[in-house]
């Protein structure tokens, strides 16, 4: 569970800093057009911080962490976010500077999206297993309502 908390915290910090970078970088270069820098911070805050806060709550309920599948999800998902947002930042900076964006940039960003998808598939497979286990488990005697004499 700590990994999810720390990941959410790091994404919050990086997301806020990337928003500041976008504002200051475009202002310093007198840029007023559209750029992918405008949405890097929202990707980091939504996919990173909010995503891991939700995963933290799911982990508390379904004991997801500590399994090989959770570790695989964690790394695929984080690497996917990193590649995607780094390529968005590169693309956005090149746009602001008026430079040509190489064709490799969106291709690499696509790889990041693929890794994100693999991570999400792993998460849903693991979550599905845990939900099925919870449904199949017979209720414990402690959770049964008290029987009253008739």
Reported confidence tier of residue 149, pLDDT bands at 50, 70, 90: low
pLDDT in tens, 71-105: 999 999 999 999 999 999 999 999 999 999 999 99
Contact indicator for 36, 88 with CB cutoff of 8 Å: yes
Whole-prediction pTM value?
Answer: 0.88
pLDDT in tens, 22-40: 999 999 999 999 999 999 9
- Separation CA 16–CA 84 (nearest Å): 17
């Amino acid at each position: 569970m700590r990994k999810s908390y720390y990941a959410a915290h790091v994404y919050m910090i990086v997301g806020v800093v990337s928003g500041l970078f976008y504002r200051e970088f475009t202002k310093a270069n007198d840029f007023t057009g559209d750029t992918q820098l405008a949405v890097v911070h929202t990707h980091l805050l939504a996919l990173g911080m909010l995503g891991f806060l939700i995963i933290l709550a799911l982990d508390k309920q379904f004991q997801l962490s500590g399994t090989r599948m959770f570790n695989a999800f964690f790394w695929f998902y984080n690497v996917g976010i990193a590649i995607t947002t780094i390529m968005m930042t590169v693309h956005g900076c090149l746009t602001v500077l008026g430079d040509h964006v190489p064709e490799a940039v969106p291709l690499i960003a696509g790889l990041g999206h693929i890794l994100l998808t693999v991570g999400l598939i792993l998460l849903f497979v693991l979550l599905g297993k845990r939900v099925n286990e919870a449904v199949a488990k017979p209720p414990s005697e402690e959770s049964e309502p008290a029987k009253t004499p008739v």
